[in-house]
């Protein structure tokens, strides 16, 4: 897990820590680490994985009475082979997820807006679905594209810890080199999404209004995540 706090916005404000966290699936987290997360203020967990992913790797935050756990798959489940055939890289896939995933994204934003204390967003490896939602949130509060891209690319280093598990999911029909390209956190993937967001919707706020997120919810996200302006 890592925090979406500590980013400077275009207006000189800083994003607050312990508001929104991003991570991979917490299926290996220890009892101690789970309790430490709760003691540190975690109250809401949004699991964006497919139902079969949850069944294969159960969420270890499930069943904790102190937590609100929401299962909101970020997009309509499609075959892995279908995705491979349709897109040469993940940038185009990310754009399609945003264009076609209005309902789940709207639901996720509503949960985040109303959540108490700290919220965790996660998918399986914490890069694609989590990367998309993190980019939307950071863009919404005015974080520069360069910093959003840097946050996304940081996942590349973090993936090393779960590489063996990720490799075990490679379908037999997908060559190793192609699979490596898909699971990588390349800057051009998220850059493609940010460009599409700008050209098609102006920004994340425009996108969220387009999918039915309310002005109140947009304001709630901004008020929760934005701290005072920083004077150099």
Number of H helices, E strands in the chain: 12, 7
Kindly report which listed range (58-62, 139-143, 158-162, 182-186) carries the lowest average pLDDT score: 158-162
Average pLDDT over residues 75-87: 59
- Domain range for 40 is 2-226
* Domain presence at residue 232: no
Confidence band, pLDDT 50/70/90 cuts, at residue 87: low
Confidence band, pLDDT 50/70/90 cuts, at residue 138: very high
Average pLDDT over residues 130-137: 98
- Whole-number Å distance between alpha carbons of 159 and 185: 9
- Identify which of 155, 165, 150 has the alpha carbon closest to the alpha carbon of residue 185: 155
Kindly report which listed range (19-33, 88-102, 192-206) carries the lowest average pLDDT score: 88-102
Residues 6+ apart with CB under 8 A from 197: 98, 135, 136, 139, 203, 204, 207
Mapped onto helix, strand or coil, the DSSP state of residue 228 is strand
* Domain presence at residue 167: yes
* Domain presence at residue 60: yes
- The pLDDT of residue 179: 82
The 10s digit of each residue's pLDDT in 178-210 is: 788 888 899 999 999 999 999 999 999 999 999
Split into its structural domains, the chain has a count of 1
* Domain presence at residue 25: yes
- Identify which of 122, 143, 153, 128 has the alpha carbon closest to the alpha carbon of residue 204: 143
- Whole-number Å distance between alpha carbons of 58 and 180: 25
- The pLDDT of residue 89: 72
Distance from chain centroid for Cα 231: 30
- Identify which of 182, 214, 1 has the alpha carbon closest to the alpha carbon of residue 92: 182
List the CATH number of the domain containing 106.
Answer: 3.90.190.10
* Domain presence at residue 231: no
* Residue 194 Cα distances to 88, 138, 221, angstroms: 18, 11, 19
pTM confidence score? 0.93
* Domain presence at residue 181: yes
Residues 6+ apart with CB under 8 A from 53: 25, 124
Given a contact cutoff of 8 angstroms between Cβ atoms, the answer to whether 124 and 77 are in contact is no
* Domain presence at residue 164: yes
Rounded to 5°, angle at Cα 19 from 143 and 104: 80
The 10s digit of each residue's pLDDT in 48-66 is: 999 989 999 999 999 999 9
Does 75 score more than 80 pLDDT? no
């Amino acid at each position: 897990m890592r925090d979406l706090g500590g980013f400077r916005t275009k207006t000189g404000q800083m994003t607050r820590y312990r508001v929104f966290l991003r991570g991979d699936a917490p299926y290996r987290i220890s009892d101690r680490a789970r309790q430490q997360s709760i003691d540190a203020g975690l109250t809401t967990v949004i699991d964006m994985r497919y139902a079969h992913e949850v069944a294969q790797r159960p969420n270890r935050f499930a069943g904790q009475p102190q937590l609100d756990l929401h299962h909101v798959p970020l997009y309509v489940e499609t075959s892995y082979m279908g995705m491979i055939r349709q897109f040469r890289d993940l940038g185009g896939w990310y754009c399609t997820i945003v264009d076609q995933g209005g309902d789940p994204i709207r639901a996720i934003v509503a949960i985040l807006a109303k959540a108490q204390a700290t919220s965790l967003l996660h998918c399986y490896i914490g890069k694609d679905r989590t990367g998309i939602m993190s980019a939307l949130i950071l863009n919404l509060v005015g974080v520069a594209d360069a910093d959003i891209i840097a946050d996304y690319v940081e996942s590349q280093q973090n993936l090393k810890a779960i590489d063996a598990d990720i490799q075990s999911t490679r379908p037999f029909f997908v060559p190793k080199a192609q699979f490596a390209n898909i699971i990588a956190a390349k800057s051009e993937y998220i850059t493609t999404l940010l460009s599409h967001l700008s050209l098609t919707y102006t920004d994340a706020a425009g996108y969220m209004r387009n999918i039915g997120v309310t002005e109140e919810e947009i304001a709630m996200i901004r008020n929760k995540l934005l701290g005072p302006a920083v004077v150099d």
